[in-house]
Amino acid sequence: MLVRPIRKHGLKAEMNVVPYIDVMLVLLVIFMVTAPMLVQGVQIELPKVAAQALPTPGEQRIVTLSVKADGSYYWNLGSEVDVVSQTDTAVNKEQMGEKIAAIVARYPEAQVYVRADQHADYAAVVAGIAELQRGGVSRLGLITEAP
């Protein structure tokens, strides 16, 4: 006599979603880790000063400093970042430092943004930033373009 085994549990026709939840959590962690790395720009640690209220856009002064491939500098003073216009120019970093220091002395709330030609010497860019710091610039940013 053949006896069929008695099953306590019947066959289930449900999908087991536990492995899919694990995969989803791993993907979530990967995206959370890589998302902050996708932000473009460079952080610069400058000396901290007492915080003041931000100026309204009408009175805000922005100096856009550009470094050419030959190591010379030009800049524009305005109320927004301007990479096309040119207010003044300098052949070397000492001239540039003196002129920008005069602008910062006249407009203490001025922000300086630095951009450089991709063929400009890295040393010229760093020397320009150092000259700006010696001239009293404490609010400095770097401009990059998306690839």
Written as tens digits, the pLDDT of the chain (147 aa) is 677 777 677 777 787 778 888 999 999 999 998 887 776 554 545 455 554 544 545 567 888 888 888 888 888 888 777 667 777 788 788 888 888 888 888 888 888 888 888 888 888 888 888 888 888 888 888 887 666
Q: Reduce the secondary structure of the chain to three states and give it as a string.
A: CCCCCCCCCCCCCCCCCHHHHHHHHHHHHHHHHHHHHHCCCCCCCCCCCCCCCCCCCCCCCEEEEEECCCCCEEEEEECCCCCCCCCEEECCHHHHHHHHHHHHHHCCCCEEEEEECCCCCHHHHHHHHHHHHHCCCCCEEECCCCC
pTM: 0.56
The correct answer on CATH 3.30.460.10 for the domain covering 62-142 is no
